[in-house]
Structures are given as structure tokens and as C-alpha cells.
A = this chain, B = another copy of it.
Amino acid sequence: MSANPVIENLSHHDPFSSWLGVKVISAEPGYSKITMPVREEMMNGFGIAHGGVTFSLADTAFGYASNGEGIITVALDTSISFSLPVYAGDLLTATARQLSNSRKTGVYLVEITNQHAQTVAIFKGTCYKTGKPHRTNTTGE
């Protein structure tokens, strides 16, 4: 469970990440680690996980790592390289870490592994800091 109130609030109001089944293992400014079990309904027409599912997990980890400072930060540009196929029943882990940080932008690497510790995809993302603070609701959650 994330101890960061910004990310805790974000992750509790994120319908698509909920559908994905994302579980936050750790989230702090510049870093996050999340997991997702891969389900049958995430498959594509080849019987392997749709690339969009793996991307979505990576993008979620990116968002949780880059928003931890309390400033609303949005994805500007991302790329993902697919290394190995993902199957229903796999448990994916995405680990995001900050590689650079300037006044308006940041660059993150997200490595996605399966339950055999094999790297299935690698994601690089550039975010833009809007400058607007998060409204965190830390009461009544």
C-alpha cells in the first residue's frame, strides 16, 4: 500500500486502473512499483495480451511515479518496446523510476516483468508538469 497521500488518492479514483486490477506496491516521488494479474478479457486476436494492456500498466506506473510531488503531471510522449509475449494468468510487475527531472519535464523508465522475472516490455516516458497542485482528499477515504 502506498504511503503517499497524493498517489493513494489518485489510485482510489482511477476507474481504468481499477478495471486493470492494478495494485500499488510502492509509490513515492520519482518511483513506483505496481502489479497486475493478466486476465482472459485482456487478450488480443492472437491469444496473447493486447499491447495496450501492457502499455496501460506501464503508463499507470509512470503516472504514479511522476505525480508524487503533488504537482499535476501529464504524459506528453511515451514509447514502449515489446520483448516477450504476455499470457492470461501471468502476473506483471511494473517498476518506474525517474531518469531525469527538469523544471517543466521529467523522463522516466518503466520496466515490466512477468512472474518469472523476465522483462516483457520497456517503457520510456516524458511528462509535463502543469504547475497545478493536486487536490488530495485525505479525509473520509
A101 vs B77: C-alpha distance when bound (angstroms): 14
Q: Does A55 contact B (CB under 8 A)?
A: yes
Q: Does A91 contact B (CB under 8 A)?
A: no
Q: Are A81 and B77 in contact (CB under 8 A)?
A: yes
Nearest Cβ on chain B to A13's Cβ, whole angstroms? 5
Nearest Cβ on chain B to A103's Cβ, whole angstroms? 10
Number of chain A interface residues as a range: 35 or more
Q: How many copies does the complex hold?
A: 4
CB-CB under 8 A from A80, the residues of chain B are 77-79
Name 5 A/B residue pairs within 8 A (Cβ), A-sorted: A16-B52, A52-B55, A75-B82, A77-B80, A99-B111
Contact residues of A with B, CB < 8 Å?
A: 9-17, 19-20, 40-46, 49-53, 55-57, 59-60, 63, 72, 74-85, 99-100, 102, 104-105, 107, 109, 111, 119, 122, 124, 126, 128
Q: Are A78 and B51 in contact (CB under 8 A)?
A: yes
Q: Are B55 and A42 in contact (CB under 8 A)?
A: no
CB-CB under 8 A from A10, the residues of chain B are 45-46
CB-CB under 8 A from A49, the residues of chain B are 16
Sample of 8 further A-B pairs with CB below 8 A, known A14-B44, A76-B82, A109-B124: A16-B43, A50-B59, A51-B55, A55-B59, A76-B77, A77-B79, A81-B126, A99-B111
A99 vs B20: C-alpha distance when bound (angstroms): 25
